[in-house]
Amino acid sequence: MTDIIQLMAKNETMIGQLYRLYANRFPEEKTFFLGIASEEDNHHAWIENISKQATELQSALKLDTFTPSAVKAYQN
């Protein structure tokens, strides 16, 4: 996986972790936050799957929309 794809996958994981923290912090909304945390897990899997398929097909992904520095800034 390229650096930007790894960062984007990590970003989805971090967002999922944040939603899980919200689920623990706000028990009355736990089901909601765990649901969207699960969606972030799916996003992570999709990113990895797309990257794997592109590698296997030797297809270039257009990744110039995002820069590693922008994703890292978002994560911080």
Instruction: Look up the domain containing 69 and give its range.
Output: 3-75
pLDDT of residue 17: 97
Angle between helices 30-56 and 3-25 (to 10 degrees): 170
Domain count for the chain, please give it: 1
Q: pLDDT digits over 11-64, tens only?
A: 999 999 999 999 999 999 999 999 999 999 999 999 888 888 877 776 666 666
29 Cβ neighbours under 8 A, 6+ residues apart: 22, 23
Residue 53 has which token pair?
Answer: 């398929």
d(Cα 46, Cα 32) in Å, to the nearest integer?
A: 21
